[in-house]
């Protein structure tokens, strides 16, 4: 607990403790398993298999377990989420914001350009939840979306296949959204359910381990006022938004110390949250690719994927579109920051306006955006 986390150092968290192997029981009787497309899995999955085995999952190499620049404390010093009040901002702040918008223009101001690229194609829409469909709040259990946002998401889901891709557990994000018209990918894409109740969980063998580390972190952070440990099924989130700033380093040290006993779990960071996930090569980008192939949308000449998200974990989806050289990533941010996205929106209210614009565009010109899509589960 007493070792120092240097602000200028690059910290690689190495672990030596032996891991406890665990295998979980099969999924419930009402859920069948989505097969992973053949080009995305190292070895075949049998029709009876409900989970990946440790021999078939692709694991990240040990040096990538955790790689944090400027130390854990430095990573936790994220940009503020409050909007920049233009009329009161210093000239250099306004100039920086304008330069950022020139590089990542507003998706609303560029809406006509986006629709022009979508002409004759089927749009597939992917949405993060926290900070995208709902505002960031101090209590993660109260991150409710507005009725107006729910209506906007429901209406756009009638227009095109729509999926929620969240770090939350799949069950928890469904409780917030409450729309059966959507696809849901929880735990950063490690828990995917389609509208026909077919389930895909590439990290299911980690469930007992995640449960164990969750209990350990709850106990270890009990004395830190404001710390909140959330079990998101295939990942554990340690929220420090309500923790006194002087205790941030202590939170980082506690998480680091607990993780020493779990060499097959890695640490990632988000907006004032530390997240513990299985060390497998699977993220939101993989989830998007999987869902697109499940929907048989694998021809760039006939479909256009759009992903809207606000967090570091959404960058994996943005990077995928950059790699493909098609599709639009839209970052939700009120402050300039580097991103792999193409466009930007400032906050959930602008996200809702963008979704409503898609619906109005379809209503005004039904032939402009195709939605004659036959959704088939793989």
Structural tokens at position 121: 């194609």
The span from the CA of 367 to the CA of 194, in Å, is 27
SS3 107: coil
The residues facing 287 across adjacent strands are: none
Contact 287, 192 (CB under 8 A): yes
The residue among 300, 283, 306 whose CA lies nearest residue 357 is 306
Residue 228: alpha-carbon gap to chain centroid:
19
Biggest distance spanned by C-alpha atoms of the chain = 64
The span from the CA of 307 to the CA of 288, in Å, is 9
Residue 173: alpha-carbon gap to chain centroid:
12
| Catalytic (active site) residue 298 | no
What is the enclosing helix (H) or strand (E) of 176? helix 170-177
- Residue 141 DSSP symbol: G
CB atoms within 10 A of CB 78: 15
User: What residue ranges in 243-338 does DSSP mark as E strands?
Assistant: 265-270, 273-278, 303-309, 328-332
Q: Which of 112, 128, 299, 311 is catalytic?
A: 128
CB atoms within 10 A of CB 215: 13
The span from the CA of 168 to the CA of 211, in Å, is 15
Catalytic positions, written as ranges:
128
């Amino acid at each position: 607990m007493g070792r120092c986390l240097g602000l200028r150092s690059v910290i690689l968290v190495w672990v030596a403790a032996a891991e406890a192997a665990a295998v979980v029981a099969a999924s419930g009787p009402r859920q069948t398993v989505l097969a992973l497309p053949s080009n995305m899995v190292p070895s075949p999955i049998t029709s009876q298999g409900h989970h990946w085995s440790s021999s078939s999952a692709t694991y990240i190499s040990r040096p990538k377990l955790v790689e944090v620049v400027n130390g854990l404390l430095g990573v936790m010093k994220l940009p503020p989420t409050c909007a920049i009040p233009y009329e009161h901002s210093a000239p250099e702040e306004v100039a920086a914001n304008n330069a950022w918008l020139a590089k990542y223009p507003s998706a609303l101001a560029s809406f006509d350009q986006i629709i022009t690229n979508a002409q004759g194609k089927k749009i597939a829409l992917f949405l993060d939840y926290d900070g995208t469909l709902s505002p960031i709040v101090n209590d993660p259990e109260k991150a409710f979306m507005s009725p107006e946002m729910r209506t906007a998401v429901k209406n756009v889901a009638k227009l095109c296949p729509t999926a929620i891709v969240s770090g939350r557990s799949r069950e928890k994000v469904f409780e917030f959204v409450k729309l059966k018209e959507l696809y849901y990918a929880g735990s950063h894409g490690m828990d995917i359910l389609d509208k026909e109740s077919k389930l895909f969980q590439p990290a299911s063998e980690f469930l007992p381990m995640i449960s164990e580390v969750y209990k350990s972190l709850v106990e270890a952070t009990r004395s830190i006022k404001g710390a909140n440990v959330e079990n998101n099924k295939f990942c554990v989130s340690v929220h420090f938004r309500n923790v006194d700033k002087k205790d941030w380093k202590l939170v980082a040290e506690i998480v680091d110390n607990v993780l020493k006993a779990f060499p097959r779990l890695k640490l990632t960071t988000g907006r004032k949250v530390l997240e513990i996930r299985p060390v497998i090569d699977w993220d939101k980008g993989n989830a998007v690719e999987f869902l697109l192939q499940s929907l048989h949308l694998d021809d760039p000449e006939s479909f256009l994927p759009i992903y809207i998200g606000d967090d570091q974990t959404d960058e994996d989806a943005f990077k995928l579109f950059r790699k493909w050289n098609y599709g639009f990533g839209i970052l939700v941010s009120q402050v300039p920051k580097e991103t792999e996205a193409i466009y930007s929106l400032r906050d959930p209210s602008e996200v809702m306006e963008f979704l409503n614009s898609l619906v109005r565009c379809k209503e005004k010109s039904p032939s402009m955006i195709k939605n004659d899509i036959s959704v088939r589960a793989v």
